[in-house]
Structures are given as structure tokens and as C-alpha cells.
Amino acid sequence: MNDKLEIGQIVNTKGLKGEVKVNSFSESQNRFETIDTILLKFKSEYKEYEIEKVSYSKNQVVLKLKGIDTIEQAEKLRNIFIYIYRSQLNELPEGTYYIADLIGLDVCLENGEKIGIVDDIFSTGSNDVYVVKDELGKQKLLPAIDEVLKEIDVENGKIIVNLIEGL
């Protein structure tokens, strides 16, 4: 597992004093209030920034980062992805996983036959849906319900599923 998790992306600036608007990838918009530092990924390098202030504008988080004090400095951060160390996160309840830990896992039937890998996960409101892509790039959408997902084994990199009628 990666020791860093992507939690958002800087998409714009706000005002003239270096604040940035963030699209949060976290279930909780308040995630940024619970952490003191973030990592910004520039190409293959990460640089740590201290969060000075968190506020909100419509559906976005607004951050003021220490050392980013002008609109020109903030503009250079546009489209940069935000990460945190896994150690900054709370322990998840049993049976709950971070999406980043599920992407790329093998998806197999109960008989062991591999049907693809988890390519994406999205929420429908009532349950998540796993997008499973086979070797030919064909997608299969699997609802994250007990009847379909039989076992998730992050440590061994696979998910065992039961394809109910209609899938």
C-alpha cells in the first residue's frame, strides 16, 4: 500500500492573498480541518505545506497555505494534486476501505476465474459501484452489495465476487 493518499486537487485561486480553491476527493469536506499539513505533488516530487486556514466556498474547500501569500504564488499551484500521509488518517471500521487501496485489485469469481481489475469506484447514493475492466478494456459495473462482493482481500490484492443475474 502506498503511504500517501490523494485527497483533492487545487483548481483555482481565491482573492489576492494566496488562497486556493480545492476540489476535495474525501467523503468529508471537513477532512482538511483535521490535518495540519498536506503534500503537493509536483511531477514526481512531493512538497509539504502547512495549512494556515480552512474555509469553504460553495462546494469547494478554500485553503491558505503557509508561504503562499500572493495570487501569483497561488496560481502556480493550479491543477496540483493534494496528498496526505496514511498515518494522518483515522483507523477505518471493519469492512471499510479507502478507494485508493481498491483500485487495481484483481476481481475474481468464486471459482478463481479472473474477470478483470478494479478501474474506478463511484457512489450512487445507495451504494458504491465498482468499475471492473477486463484485458480487452471492456467494463463491467458491479454494485458494492453483500450479494455481489463476497470477499475483499487488500493484503493479497483481490476481490472475490458473485455475478448475480443481470450482471
**How many folded domains does the chain comprise?**
2
Residues 127-137 pLDDT 10s: 899 999 999 99
Q: What is the tens place of the pLDDT at every residue in 65-117?
A: 999 999 999 999 999 999 999 888 777 888 888 888 899 999 999 999 999 99
Q: Is the pLDDT of residue 2 over 80?
A: no
Nearest residue to 77 (alpha-carbon basis) of 35, 32, 47: 47
What domain range is 105 assigned to? 99-161
In a domain, 122, yes or no: yes
Is residue 131, in this structure, part of any structural domain at all?
A: yes
Q: In this structure, are 39 and 10 located in the same domain?
A: yes
Per-residue pLDDT band for 1 (boundaries 50, 70, 90) equals: low
Which ranges of 18-122 does DSSP label H, i.e. alpha helix?
71-75, 99-102
Q: Are residue 82 and residue 29 in the same domain, yes or no?
A: yes
Q: How far, in Å, CA of 79 to CA of 10, rounded? A: 5
pTM: predicted TM-score of the whole model, two decimal places:
0.75
User: Is the residue at 94 inside a domain?
Assistant: no
Domain match, 17 and 71 both? yes
Model pLDDT for residues 30-56, shown as the tens digit of each residue: 889 989 999 999 988 999 999 999 999
Q: Are 142 and 132 in contact (CB under 8 A)?
A: yes
Cβ neighbours of residue 110 closer than 8 Å, sequence gap 6 or more = 150, 160, 161, 162
Question: Which residues is 130 bridged to in the sheet?
Answer: 121, 142
Residue 18 sits in the same domain as residue 77:
yes
Whether 29 and 57 map to the same domain: the answer is yes
